[in-house]
């Protein structure tokens, strides 16, 4: 932030650290900017520090070190009620002693909206979530999905400067969750609000986000648009966390520009792209290939032979599991159309994948499958 140009980000985490007990750092040196109008998702396994990050931005926790800036103002110590951020909690945190309409009116009263204005705003918010009919019910009388929508409307109704959501769909069943993902995304597009969203579900993150920040162990592992983090993971953790992978053990033999030549324990040769952090010659590596990149049949490069262990019909696709001697199990995801020609379990097959679809990472990470 020494440059003369003003910071374009609406929110900036600048070297933020957090420790609850003074020893263990739950968030370690966080640098992250959120642009105005952006939908940014914090994605990571449970315990990685996502909620802590969100709570610091909301003002429920203060950073142990570093600064949080909002519109270039330091807000580390600003009390929550002055931050003006809407917030959706995992258990919704609807006030049980107030009706739906009273819940929606609450932030308007707190922010001193004109008395005459409140009923109209509440009504419009109810229309937005199509729950006008239940305005006078208590939260306990609503279904989970309805409660979720009320919580969402409550976080939006007072026109906050941004909206924070911590796993807001975690308590819903799968269908409702997918429906709500689209609904929230639509709302974001319509209102143009800045949103910070927390989830541990990578599909959810892919569906909704402009950008995804992948968290692990209190650090951001990679930030970028969904396609970027999926197709070009910067480290093995990101690759593994974003979708499924086959991991093939191998050793680097030679390099050819960005491509590496590697040899598997059984002797087969592989060609793969090198990861950004680089690999030394002769180093142990793991080659990651996504199942949808694996096809049946012979090829000149990256061809492996094995026995079909299982063929699973999964509705929209087929999954073929192949036992490759000395390497392990390989999973291939095939279109349904391939079903008639599919070999049956026990048959000997060859599988292959394109060198561009394979990424080689250092082997150390292989421990945490």
Partner 1 sequence: MMMAIRIFAVLVLVFLVSPIVVIFPLSFSSGEILTLPTPGWSLRWYEDFFTAGRWLEATRNSFVVGGFTMVIATTLGTLAAFGLNMARFPGKKTVLVILSLPMVVPVIVAASSMYVAFSAWGLTNTFTGLVIAHVIVAAPYVVITVLAAVQTLDMTLVRAALSLGATPVQAFREVVLPLILPGVIAGAVFAFATSFDELVIAIFLTGPGQFTLPRQMFAGLREMLSPTIAASAVIMVVLSVVLLLISEAARNYATRLQGGARQ
Among 43, 44, 70, 106, which residue sits at the site for ligand ADP (rule: CB under 6 A)? 44
Nearer to partner 1, 93 or 357 (CB): 93
Per CB under 5 A, 41 contacts Mg ion: no
Nearer to Mg ion, 26 or 129 (CB): 26
Report the distance separating Cα 20 and Cα 241, nearest Å: 26
Closest CA to 38 of 188, 153, 183: 188
DSSP, collapsed to helix, strand or coil, labels residue 333 as strand
Nearer to partner 1, 85 or 361 (CB): 85
Number of residues that bind ligand ADP (CB under 6 A): 10
DSSP, collapsed to helix, strand or coil, labels residue 143 as coil
Partner from ligand ADP, Mg ion, partner 1, none binding residue 91, C-beta < 5-8 Å depending on class? partner 1
Partner from Mg ion, ligand ADP, partner 1, none binding residue 18, C-beta < 5-8 Å depending on class? none
Among 81, 114, 267, 341, which residue sits at the site for partner 1 (rule: CB under 8 A)? 81
Per CB under 6 A, 306 contacts ligand ADP: no
Instruction: Count other C-beta atoms under 10 Å from residue 342's C-beta.
Output: 16
Contact 222, 233 (CB under 8 A): yes
Partner from ligand ADP, Mg ion, partner 1, none binding residue 368, C-beta < 5-8 Å depending on class? none
What are phi and psi for residue 125, nearest 5 degrees? -65, -40
* Angle between helical axes of 100-110 and 118-128 (0-180°, round to 10): 130
Query: Least distance (Å) from ligand ADP to the CB of residue 38?
Result: 20
Among 11, 16, 39, 52, which residue sits at the site for ligand ADP (rule: CB under 6 A)? 52
CA-based Rg of the chain, rounded to a whole angstrom?
Answer: 25
Buried b (16+ CB within 10 A) or exposed e, 353-362: bebebbbbbb
Residue 2 neighbours by CB under 8 Å, 6+ apart: none
Per CB under 8 A, 158 contacts partner 1: yes
Per CB under 8 A, 230 contacts partner 1: no
Per CB under 5 A, 199 contacts Mg ion: no
Torsion, CA 126, CA 167, CA 180, CA 238, rounded to 10: 150
Among 31, 72, 111, 124, which residue sits at the site for partner 1 (rule: CB under 8 A)? 111
DSSP label at residue 135: T
Q: Catalog residues that contact Mg ion under the rule CB under 5 A.
A: 51
Task: Using CB under 8 A, list all residues that contact partner 1.
Answer: 58-60, 79-81, 83-87, 89, 91, 93-97, 106-107, 110-111, 138-141, 144, 147, 154-155, 158, 164
């Amino acid at each position: 932030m020494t440059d003369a140009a003003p910071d374009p980000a609406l929110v900036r985490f600048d070297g933020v650290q957090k420790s609850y007990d003074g020893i263990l750092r739950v968030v370690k040196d966080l640098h992250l900017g959120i642009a105005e109008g952006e939908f940014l998702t914090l994605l990571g396994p449970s315990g990685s520090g996502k909620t802590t990050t969100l709570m610091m931005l909301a003002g429920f926790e203060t950073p142990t070190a570093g600064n949080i800036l909002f519109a270039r103002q330091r807000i580390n110590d600003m009390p929550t009620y002055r931050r003006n951020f809407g917030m959706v909690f995992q258990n919704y945190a609807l006030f049980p002693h107030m009706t739906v309409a009273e819940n929606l009116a609450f932030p308007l009263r707190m922010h001193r909206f004109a008395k005459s204005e409140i009923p109209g705003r509440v009504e419009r918010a109810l229309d937005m979530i199509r729950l006008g009919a239940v305005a006078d019910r208590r939260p306990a009388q609503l279904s989970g999905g309805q409660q979720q929508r009320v919580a969402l409307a409550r976080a939006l109704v007072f026109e906050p400067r941004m909206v924070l959501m911590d796993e807001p769909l975690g308590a819903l069943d799968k269908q409702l969750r997918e429906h709500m993902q689209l609904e929230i995304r639509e709302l974001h597009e319509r209102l143009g609000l800045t949103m910070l969203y927390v989830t541990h579900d990578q599909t959810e993150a892919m569906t909704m986000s402009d950008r995804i920040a992948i968290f692990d162990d209190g650090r951001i592992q990679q930030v970028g648009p969904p396609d970027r983090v999926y197709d070009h993971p910067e480290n093995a953790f990101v690759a593994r966390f974003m979708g499924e992978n086959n991991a093939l053990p191998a050793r680097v033999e030679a390099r050819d520009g960005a491509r590496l030549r590697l040899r598997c324990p059984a002797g087969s040769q592989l060609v793969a792209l090198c990861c950004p952090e680089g690999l030394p010659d002769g180093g142990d590596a793991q080659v990651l290939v996504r199942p949808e990149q694996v096809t049946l049949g012979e090829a000149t490069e990256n061809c492996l032979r094995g026995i079909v262990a299982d063929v699973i019909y999964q509705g929209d696709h087929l999954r073929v599991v192949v036992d490759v001697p000395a390497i392990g199990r390989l999973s291939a995801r095939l279109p349904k159309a391939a079903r008639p020609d599919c070999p049956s379990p026990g048959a000997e097959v060859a599988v292959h994948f394109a060198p561009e679809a394979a990424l080689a990472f250092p082997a150390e990470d292989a421990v945490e499958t």
